[in-house]
Amino acid sequence: MQLISSMLCAFKGATTSAWIISSPEDADVIVVHGEDQDERIANWKSGGRLVVEIATNPSFEWSEQGALNESFQLDYPFRGAQVLALLEQLETQLISSPAINGVVEPPLSTAGDNVSWNFVEALRNLQPSSYSDVWFVACDANSPLLWLESSREVYVAEPAVVQDIRSGAVDLTELILEETPLKPDDLSERPAMELIWFAAYYASDRLAPWLDPFSRYRMTRWPDFGSIHPPVTQIRVAAALSADEIDVGEIAARARVSLEEATRTLNALSVCAVLVSATQTRPARLLRPKWSVPELRGGLLALVRNVRKHLGLGA
C-alpha cells in the first residue's frame, strides 16, 4: 500500500487525471489485499466501485467473480510501469461510466442576474486599508451578522454563524458591508479566505458572471486550503485544474464530480486569485494575494545562479 502511495506521488503530472488518496467512502477506486475477506469489498464491487487487488501470494489467482465485478490485479512486487498502465485503464473505465457521460452541457453563466453575487462582488471590490483597526460590519435584518477587517485578512462571527457560513445555511446575498468603529472583542478572529470561499461557493449553482462557460481555465497556484478545509470533491476539482487548461464540463469529468460541484468550486476558485483562462496571461478582477517574493540579493542571488547553471536552466 505504501508503494502504491509513493508511486501516485511520483506520477503527479504524468497522468491525465490527478490522482489523490482519500477515504473509501469518497474514493472511486479501492485498493485491497488480494486475500482480504473484508465484507465491504463485495459491496464496493456490486456498487460499481473499481477495486484493485494486490496479490502477495504467488499461488493467488484472480477469481472469475472478481473479473466480472471489474477488479484489477497487481502482483507484488510490481513495477512503476505496471501501475502507470493500470492508472490509464482505470481512467478509461471511469470516464466511460454513465455518471461521467451524463455531463454533456456546460452550465449557463449568471451574467445579467447578479443579485446572488452582490455580497461576493462587495468582497471583491472592497479596497484594502493599511490600517488594521478599520472594520466592516454586515447586518442581517438590522442585526450584525459578521465583521470583516479592511485588510481582508480576518473576520469574526458567532460560532453558530461560522458553521452556517461553511454549510451554506445562511443567505449572504443581500448583506451590505458598512464601515464600523467597533467589533466584538469576545469573538475569535478567523481567516477571511474561509468567508470568501464559502460565500462564492454557495452563491449560485450557475457560473459566476465574470466566468465564461466555454472558456478553459487552469490554476496557477493552490489556494489556502488550510483555512478552508474543503471536502475531497473540491480538492479533486482543484487538482484537475492544476494539471491542464480545461472547461467546466471537462473539470467535472476529470475530477469525477457532478457538474454543479465543478461549477460551484470553479466559482470559489475564481475569487481567490488562482485562476487564469486560456486567453489570459494573469488573473483579472480577482482578489490579489497579500504576499510577494522578495528580490534576491548578494550571496543568495549567486547561489541561485549557480544552482540554475548546474541544472542547465541558464543563469
Of 51 and 262, the structure prediction assigns the larger pLDDT to: 262
The pLDDT score that the predictor gives to residue 285 is 37
The residues spanned by each domain of the chain are 2-96, 115-201
Rg (CA), the chain: 24
pTM of the model: 0.56
Contacts of 272 (CB under 8 A, 6+ apart): 193, 196, 197, 223, 286, 287
282: region left, alpha or beta (phi > 0 left; psi from -120 to 50 alpha): beta
The pLDDT score that the predictor gives to residue 315 is 57
The pLDDT score that the predictor gives to residue 102 is 41
Count CB neighbours of 192 within 10 A: 21
Mean pLDDT of the chain: 76
Task: Answer yes or no: is pLDDT of 47 > 80.
Answer: no
Q: What is the CATH number of domain 2-96?
A: 3.40.50
Of 194 and 125, the structure prediction assigns the larger pLDDT to: 194
pLDDT (average), residues 184-208: 92
What are the CA-CA distances from residue 225 to residues 126, 160, 272 (Å)? 22, 21, 11
Could you read off the pLDDT of 144-176 as tens digits, one per residue? 899 998 887 899 999 999 999 999 999 898 888
**pLDDT band of 71, cuts 50, 70, 90:** low
